[in-house]
Structure 1
Amino acid sequence: MDFEPYRGELVAYCYRMLGSYHEAEDLVQETMLRAWKARDRYDSTRASVRTWLYRIATNVCLTALEGRARRPLPSGLGAPSEDPGAPLTPAFDIPWLQPFPDARFDMGARADLRLALVAAMQVLPPRQRAVLVLREVLEFSAAEVATQLGTTATAVNSALQRARAALADVGDVGQVTEPDDPEVRAVIQRYVRAFEAADVPALVRLLTDEAVLEMPPVPLWYRGSRDYGLFMRRVFEMRGTGWRMRDLTANGQPALAAYVPDPGGGHRLHTLQVVTVTGGRVSHNVVFADPGVFEAFDLPEKI
């Protein structure tokens, strides 16, 4: 019995549940181990291998989530900062949401992996989260999900309604433009040119009026093109100019690896930026500085 063809989608499922790529990998390994040990008890007349694996993965995820704090982004913790010069003090005690490295799995662009949606889902109780993903994303029937969760189809439908209501303000992720869209590529290329030139006015012109900038593990975040621009001016004053950027994707969105000039020569990795482009402008940028995130994306430390 070969479980490997399902590994990629199971990692994506566990990532949606946990908000951590590294934990998702570990939980899928646990799922595979449990499935292998129970393979003699698998009944193909009652469920497909895929459905059976998702039942095991769901139980593994729910167990892992017991007593856990949710994984937020800074914007999920409070109001935006109004001080672009505020101290950049990391909060390592918070289990921050992590991005998903698309290149690890051949899954294509997936609207249901959008960072904003995964962040919003972390607010849901774990079983509601499971119901939402299993029904809406993976398109299992209510009866199948009921079997996976050991409940009834009526309870599943009720949980789904509550989950949908809780996420109503996230908006339609299907309206978010894909990273390979020509307009999106053009915006990202202009952003890269402005960033590498340390041209703050050009960066600001590429932003929506209400653009959000956040930087886990620093709990600060900013809303509005003015504060975004003031903060970027501060960054270039602190770190210098002459940065280099590399294109990639994360969570089915455009992403950029930012490299700062190294006094010893070349450039060293500074941040991974996951960008949302809406209506031809940058509306959201989540800037990650966690070495664990860099490792997940196989980013070179120096270029």
Structure 2
Amino acid sequence: MAAVDTGAVSVFEAETAAARHELLVHCYRMLGSPDDAEDAVQETLERAWRAWDGFQHRSSVRTWLYRIATHVCLDRLRTRPAQATVGLDGIPESTHATAVVLPFPGGGDDLRLAFVVALQDLPATQRAVQLLRDVLRFSAIETAEALDTTVAAVKSALQRARARIARTAPRAEAVTEPTDAASRRALDTYVDAFTSGDVARLVDLLREDAVLELQPEGGVYEGKIACAAVLRSASGQGAWHMRPVVANGQPAAVVHRDGDAFGVAVLDVGPDGIARITVFADPSLVTRFGIQSARPGGGQPPAE
């Protein structure tokens, strides 16, 4: 077995380190799963290392890594079951089935759940073009080179992707950032009202057209009245404890029930109230957000 050139390894790690989080976010947008994204980044770096000697910096390291990461994600999407759909202008297309889009810890540009969910409805190549052109701001030529296609094909795919996103994504909401005082107050009030069983105050936070989505069962409740019925029922089922966090750049809470990990609730907060609550009943998400357990004795863990 040939000896590993430790000097080359050090150079490779130094030149790729800054891009690793960006690649993780990109792969998450492509795949809709933080776990799948982490695996894809690992494969990207393995492919990059094998090709490092031949790279010769003909482009920036960042651009080169994004090209590899996009192909890794496309390869992974091709292994998912295909779903036949009819695209714009009646053109047959196929998308690749994905599990429920799971929340991503922390913030960042273009990470909102509604956008990531809408991306999953795009055929894989359109998804890649949309992200490379509209999110990463690659030129049409750079995108064509990254995907081994033509500029004309990129322009066509981008036009169709933008139209489908506009048609299928929930309407854009005017939202405040989770670091803003108004957004944090809404989250703190939501946490306090839910954990104390104050349903009236909880419902007062909601817009009239608020939506409550429960994953993974997929239940969707539209309107304040429908949401209130579900929240009223849930608030009486056990002792709830929540810790404020940020998910997909949005205010969120890690949830425990009766001392056991329950999942994560993500809020879409607008200037006139909570527009959407997405609840992920998945205990494994609790540790992903860096929280191990509820505070002993029944108290709410302190906010970070």
Q: Answer whether TM exceeds 0.5 for this pair.
A: yes
SS of the residue corresponding to residue 112 of structure 1 reads coil
2-structure distance, mates of 1:136, 1:223: 30
SS of the residue corresponding to residue 276 of structure 1 reads strand
1-structure distance, mates of 2:222, 2:27: 30
**Aligned match of 1:204:** 203
One-letter amino acid of the structure 2 residue matched with residue 268 of structure 1: D
Query: Identity over aligned residues, as a percent?
Result: 46
Q: Within the alignment, does 1:10 sit opposite 2:14 as a pair? A: no
One-letter amino acid of the structure 1 residue matched with residue 103 of structure 2: P
The one of 81, 100, 103 equivalent to 2:104 is 100
2-structure distance, mates of 1:157, 1:293: 38
Deviations 1:229-288 (A, max 9, x none): 111111123x235x322110000000111222x3xxxx3322210110012311111111
**Aligned match of 1:277:** 269
TM-score normalized with structure 2 length: 0.83
Deviations 1:133-175 (A, max 9, x none): 1111111111111000001112111111111111114367584
Deviations 1:86-144 (A, max 9, x none): xxxxxxx9721111111xxxxxx434000010001100000100011111111111111
**Aligned match of 1:256:** 253
Moved over 6 A (4+): none
Contact 2:29–2:111 (8 Å) recurs in 1? yes
One-letter amino acid of the structure 1 residue matched with residue 55 of structure 2: Y
**Aligned match of 1:50:** 62
SS of the residue corresponding to residue 286 of structure 1 reads strand
**Of the two, which has the highest radius of gyration?**
2
One-letter amino acid of the structure 2 residue matched with residue 56 of structure 1: I
Classify 1:50/1:13 alpha carbon distance in 2 versus 1 (closer, same or farther; 3 Å).
same
Structure 1 unaligned segments of length 5 or more: list them: 72-92, 103-108
SS of the residue corresponding to residue 144 of structure 2 reads helix
SS of the residue corresponding to residue 96 of structure 1 reads coil
Structure 2 unaligned segments of length 5 or more: list them: 1-11, 84-96, 296-304
TM-score normalized with structure 1 length: 0.83
Q: Within the alignment, does 1:68 sit opposite 2:66 as a pair? A: no
Classify 1:171/1:43 alpha carbon distance in 2 versus 1 (closer, same or farther; 3 Å).
farther
Contact 1:255–1:272 (8 Å) recurs in 2? yes
**Aligned match of 1:229:** 228
Q: How many pairs are equivalent?
A: 268
SS of the residue corresponding to residue 209 of structure 1 reads strand
**Aligned match of 1:28:** 41
Classify 1:114/1:236 alpha carbon distance in 2 versus 1 (closer, same or farther; 3 Å).
same
Within 5 A, what are the aligned runs for 1:18-167? Answer: 18-44=31-57, 46-69=58-81, 95-102=99-106, 109-167=107-165
Q: CA deviation at 1:25?
A: 0.3
Classify 1:206/1:70 alpha carbon distance in 2 versus 1 (closer, same or farther; 3 Å).
farther
1-structure distance, mates of 2:82, 2:230: 28
Classify 1:174/1:137 alpha carbon distance in 2 versus 1 (closer, same or farther; 3 Å).
farther
Classify 1:16/1:124 alpha carbon distance in 2 versus 1 (closer, same or farther; 3 Å).
same
2-structure distance, mates of 1:137, 1:33: 25
Bigger RCO (CA 8 Å, 6+ sep): 1
